[in-house]
Structure 1
């Protein structure tokens, strides 16, 4: 495991869009938030490009990623938004470059593919956290969403319990291991590739947005058949925003679907974490060691920086 160096006031943060293009007005609003954190900002060259649903072609987005990791003046890389496209560049990334120049890498949603690939290819701890255009640039941003960025400046451990959101125990017990996971659709899309998510002895977390229960069923079934749920030491079920039945008169509920798969594997499991497409969006370090305890309904996570 490699931890990146923590941020200090006055450091420079690189902003890239490795998937879809950001909303410019929301991005500009979010940049003022970074000024409040007292860091400098350097925008990637493809951040304002458009190539269909992508922020520039694959080579442009890949070049931005490599440039930001290579540039010694850049101390952290924050993704402007998700959308679609990171899986298209994952096979072209120079992972030896990233390992040679480890630094903070932050984002979620479609960025899940990069979190999984980078961690498994390099051992670098990355951060599943709120993005600029997608979250910080909105009109009403939860204070805890903004406060999540503080973990980049300090070495304190994180604690998630019911002071943040109501939690439901799906399967009792305690478990510990490195945190791995992210967006359910993206985790499923890694299966069968060289970047297939490794859940063995890990604490697996997953979330999603605007997926009907039958689609969540399909994805969890695929993870289950691939052995990914059974191999996990414990499971954190995070936010599923807008995942109610929409086009089917008869449907299982989201809770019925999740319970069916999670309870059957008999791993310690808690549901209700505001991690992902949620309000607040609580950031966590992917690859960091963590311990979950269902008796106290809490997860304690070590700092993702050094």
Structure 2
């Protein structure tokens, strides 16, 4: 893979493979859409996701490249065999949990999957100043709190320079009336890094394509994420 690099892209469980390839070879991998689950959606979600994909792979965007927030999104689940129309639209809003600007290496993946390879040679070590992007799907409030606490006890939040939380598909708040980012803030306690939540590189549609190990700027105050360098950095 190192001698003959290819494009590796996907999301969710594939996080373990993407992070392992990046860590063991230094090859840039990409957290982004899957062929059927993403591009198989009806318009306009397939077109929007494909635009983000082509921006990174085919248009050779001039850097810096700012990820354009979609105007709307969906988390609807429709049986593939019965799906005859596009899923419903929800007005898109990102949430600034803590203002500020940070520049650093992007480590992104599905949190539940990251936990499964944590501490092994295949998981990149979180370094001082990294920007961590985590997301998950179909979890309960209790399970999500446990996963956030896993990062906390491993001192991840003491090292990172910025935090991004993706939208959570079909979250079960178990009657708490809390959003995932509110549960995460409870786990964090006091913190001083920029934190932006409800961002669109996750199990919902549409979805960004984001290079693992690249350098990005997170401006939580202005709610922008900008790709500064697409070349992966290995610590």
TM-score, structure 1 normalization = 0.62
Q: Which of residues 209, 220, 225 is equivalent to 2:153?
A: 225
Are the aligned partners of 2:12 and 2:109 in contact in 1 as well (CA < 8 Å)?
yes
Structure 1 residue 155: Cα displacement: 2.5
Change (3 A) 1:114 1:101: same
3-state DSSP class of the match of 1:177? strand
3-state DSSP class of the match of 2:168? strand
Structure 1 residue 202: Cα displacement: 1.1
Structure 1 residue 171: Cα displacement: 1.6
Are the aligned partners of 1:198 and 1:228 in contact in 2 as well (CA < 8 Å)?
no
Structure 1 residue 270: Cα displacement: 0.7
Q: Does 1:199 align with 2:199?
A: no
Q: Does 1:132 align with 2:35?
A: yes
Q: Give the aligned partner of residue 220 of structure 2.
A: 294
Are the aligned partners of 1:230 and 1:267 in contact in 2 as well (CA < 8 Å)?
no
- Structure 1 residues 1-306: aligned runs within 5 Å: 98-140=1-43, 142=45, 143-150=47-54, 151-156=56-61, 157=63, 158-160=65-67, 162=69, 164=71, 165-200=92-127, 201-245=129-173, 248=174, 253-262=179-188, 264-302=190-228, 304=230
Structure 1 residue 107: Cα displacement: 0.8
- Whole-Å separation in 2 of the counterparts to 1:176 and 1:253: 26
Q: Deviation digits for residues 209-262 of structure 1, max 9, x if unmatched?
A: 1011111110110011111222111001111111123xx456754343122234
3-state DSSP class of the match of 1:192? coil
- Whole-Å separation in 2 of the counterparts to 1:273 and 1:263: 22
Are the aligned partners of 2:139 and 2:171 in contact in 1 as well (CA < 8 Å)?
yes
* Between 106-115 and 188-197, the greater mean CA deviation after superposition: 188-197
- Whole-Å separation in 1 of the counterparts to 2:176 and 2:208: 33
Structure 1 residue 265: Cα displacement: 3.3
- Whole-Å separation in 1 of the counterparts to 2:58 and 2:69: 25
Structure 1 residue 163: Cα displacement: 5.8
Higher RCO, 1 vs 2 (CA within 8 Å, ≥6 residues apart): 2
Q: Which is higher, the Rg of structure 1 or of structure 2?
A: 1
Structure 2 unmatched runs, 5+? 72-91
Structure 1 residue 268: Cα displacement: 1.1
